Structure 1
């Protein structure tokens, strides 16, 4: 793989155009094709002491950024919309004094045909990890966010979280989460499960399923829409503690049995807190994930051409100097972009680009970060052939930052 870094300007095959006054860098690779990218750090609408960001887009290509701020005595979830390279005035979704705020289990914002859904975690019991998934639904007629609705409806005080959301037709939203109701079974605790439900625009639960009766306890889930229907990927868990990445698919209103995407055979006694990411376009599905079998960390990418029914053997994205924290997107041109953390010297947010067939194209440095938990998980979102990246900068006061990476040539 050719690695294009912002600090390396040597090489006969590289033509670098540096616009210092604008703070931009464009890198062109002369062989085999002329490749350009442009990195622009956008002003952040998030205030100091912000974290747990999520960048997302709607069906019109509008970009939104959400974040959490903590202060005495409460936490607040807010968001802003990017309009002509400027952010709208931030709007509050919800705030509370009883939230569970966690570096790896962060809120999701999903926008869909004028409506929206956002979630946060709210304590529900005496246990350190007793918390519910609470969601608010946006009413465009009233132009306001509704009261929080508990998504996990068991009524059992347990750990519930690691949510993924997927906009669907008819202003409906698929919400998937890890559900801890069985972990409070007596006399013997059961495993975490994976569940999903479809909600209408008003927040009514239309139908709900258990997708897997045993999943990893605290790895992020991810969902995407294919030509054949929704898919959810997650870290599975077997009886002998093998925790590989699995997929389930909704076909004709029935979910398929869990299928492991690739048998890493990573046996680990505790949850690695490092979930997979899925992206889809038409019948193409791309899944990126972290694994560390035999104490050899690596990020892998597998691509399906049949809506997730089967996958080609994985491609190595990075390793061994990585701690994962992946995300993935598919550009309009069919290329796949995977974000991950490089931990060789200073922790760096990387974007690695692959052809539609999964062949490596290049990797670029986006920004320095930290490998500590305080920095959280970088998140990416694509619009056409542009990728938006959000992360938490902890070099001084923690603050959410956002950048735009354009892959289809330099824009004036």
Structure 2
């Protein structure tokens, strides 16, 4: 037997073994979403007080097991890091400019994303009479000199149009994307809507490329969401105002890393008519080849959190699934995805009672595994009623860290849920 014949035989044998495996993995990532009764997390009995008066805290886990905590304290944006699961924290680093005021209202609060050992923070700040700015900063959380913040909008100094309700995402290749609501060149201002804009950084947040208009007719107080596929396709989900004030979720897609976007696709036919902004935007992520979107709607008889997926690059979407049945006032979803594609979503709400009593506002959580199986929604234990915007992060080992502040926007708390 010749050497070439041997190599050919080995190649054939490897193909016979590997092709079914590759096919199975591809099939696994394209499966439809299915609901289960499985409880995904076992939470600690009581949350841990972080001992700080922090507004709108956000947590992000690193691949090495560390935790970042971003929060606003006395109008300044601070970043902390923990190496022991939140038991102890390093001294904070201030990210915002001295004397500035960082926005914490509703959907316009700061955002945080972690990739590798770095944290990327995005926020809106006001500097006296100079108006507002959208800024991004990268930090290792190791102290030293504060990181340099970069303005992401490319408007001339004379343009005082609005920019806010920004979101942040880090692509698999490390590129940083930001999307926000923008009032420049707004030909639909009479409708009370904004445009959606996007900017991309290819140098880890040091600079940003030109601003790109993604879509028009965006609901003016609902934060958009950015999701990036491994092949570089970019999705921006936002709340679009259709016709006579129907405020439904739409997705615009780009196949050239966010340089150009196609027309928006309606995610679900909620036909939610509302003469005002609900202040509740969608969240999105790419799991394998699936684009997953979660959002709030009050359309129909069961207001709450909905979930859907697209298997064809955002062109069509599966029938929406309700994931908040039995929970009163379910709203403000927040999504975290681990490197293996596992997704966790948290939101706020009140546990319903048999007698219709009002329970405290608490976080709730569910998981979507890489096979598209949706766990049962679990109430996160709390000691006091929290505010409406919990955030969470999945660690590399599958644990879920959830953080929130009290009803007065202070006294931040953290809890860990272990994967079952």
TM-score for the superposition, normalised by structure 1: 0.77
Contact 2:62 2:116 in 1 (8 A): yes
What residue number does 2:394 align with?
382
What residue number does 1:6 align with?
none
Query: Following TM superposition, by how much is the alpha carbon of 1:285 offset from its aligned partner in structure 2, in angstroms?
Result: 2.5
Contact 1:81 1:88 in 2 (8 A): yes
Q: 1:187 and 1:248 mapped to 2: Cα distance?
A: 20
Q: 1:299 to 1:36 in 2, by over 3 A?
A: closer
Q: Which has the higher contact order (CA 8 A, sep 6+)?
A: 2
Does residue 99 of structure 1 match 2:106? no
> Bigger radius of gyration, 1 or 2?
2
What residue number does 2:273 align with?
267
What residue number does 1:312 align with?
318
What residue number does 1:50 align with?
54
Contact 1:369 1:394 in 2 (8 A): no
Q: 1:133 to 1:334 in 2, by over 3 A?
A: closer
Contact 1:52 1:106 in 2 (8 A): yes
Query: Following TM superposition, by how much is the alpha carbon of 1:131 offset from its aligned partner in structure 2, in angstroms?
Result: 2.7
Contact 1:278 1:329 in 2 (8 A): no
Q: How many residues align?
A: 366
Q: 1:217 to 1:188 in 2, by over 3 A?
A: closer
Q: 2:183 aligns with which of 180, 184, 187?
A: 180
Could you report, residue by residue, the CA deviation over 1:79-100 in whole angstroms, capped at 9, with x for unpaired residues?
2223133333132232443324
What residue number does 1:145 align with?
146
Could you report, residue by residue, the CA deviation over 1:28-75 in whole angstroms, capped at 9, with x for unpaired residues?
xxxx9986632135645461x2111111234555431111112xxxx2
Instruction: Note the aligned Cα RMSD (angstroms).
Output: 3.4
Indicate the SS of the match to 2:95.
strand
Indicate the SS of the match to 1:273.
coil
Query: Following TM superposition, by how much is the alpha carbon of 1:273 offset from its aligned partner in structure 2, in angstroms?
Result: 0.3
Does residue 340 of structure 1 match 2:350? no
**Structure in which a larger fraction of residues adopt strand:** 1
Query: Following TM superposition, by how much is the alpha carbon of 1:226 offset from its aligned partner in structure 2, in angstroms?
Result: 2.0
Indicate the SS of the match to 1:394.
coil
Q: 1:403 and 1:368 mapped to 2: Cα distance?
A: 9
Q: 1:201 and 1:112 mapped to 2: Cα distance?
A: 10
Indicate the SS of the match to 2:211.
strand
Where in structure 1 are there 5+ consecutive unaligned residues?
A: 1-31
Query: Following TM superposition, by how much is the alpha carbon of 1:112 offset from its aligned partner in structure 2, in angstroms?
Result: 3.4
Q: 1:87 to 1:305 in 2, by over 3 A?
A: farther
What residue number does 1:252 align with?
256
Contact 1:109 1:116 in 2 (8 A): yes
Q: 1:389 to 1:140 in 2, by over 3 A?
A: closer
What residue number does 1:168 align with?
171
Indicate the SS of the match to 2:380.
strand
Q: 1:133 to 1:33 in 2, by over 3 A?
A: closer
Q: 1:190 and 1:67 mapped to 2: Cα distance?
A: 30
What residue number does 1:77 align with?
77
What residue number does 2:295 align with?
289
What residue number does 1:10 align with?
none
Q: 1:190 and 1:313 mapped to 2: Cα distance?
A: 30
Where in structure 2 are there 5+ consecutive unaligned residues?
A: 1-35, 353-357
Q: 1:332 and 1:113 mapped to 2: Cα distance?
A: 10
Query: Following TM superposition, by how much is the alpha carbon of 1:114 offset from its aligned partner in structure 2, in angstroms?
Result: 4.5
Indicate the SS of the match to 1:322.
strand
Contact 1:330 1:336 in 2 (8 A): yes
Which 10-residue stretch deviates more, 137-146 or 90-99?
A: 137-146
Query: Following TM superposition, by how much is the alpha carbon of 1:160 offset from its aligned partner in structure 2, in angstroms?
Result: 1.8
Could you report, residue by residue, the CA deviation over 1:272-316 in whole angstroms, capped at 9, with x for unpaired residues?
001111133221232111001257522111123345443211111
Q: 1:406 and 1:88 mapped to 2: Cα distance?
A: 21
Summarize the alignment of residues 12-91 of structure 1 with structure 2, pairs less than 5 Å apart.
Answer: 37-40=41-44, 43-45=48-50, 47=52, 49-60=53-64, 62-70=66-74, 75-85=75-85, 86-91=87-92
TM-score for the superposition, normalised by structure 2: 0.75
Could you report, residue by residue, the CA deviation over 1:160-217 in whole angstroms, capped at 9, with x for unpaired residues?
222211223665311111112246x899687311111012336222233100122110
Q: 1:380 to 1:296 in 2, by over 3 A?
A: same
Q: 2:265 and 2:216 mapped to 1: Cα distance?
A: 13
**Structure in which a larger fraction of residues adopt helix:** 2
Does residue 405 of structure 1 match 2:417? yes
Q: 1:133 to 1:143 in 2, by over 3 A?
A: same
Contact 1:152 1:179 in 2 (8 A): no
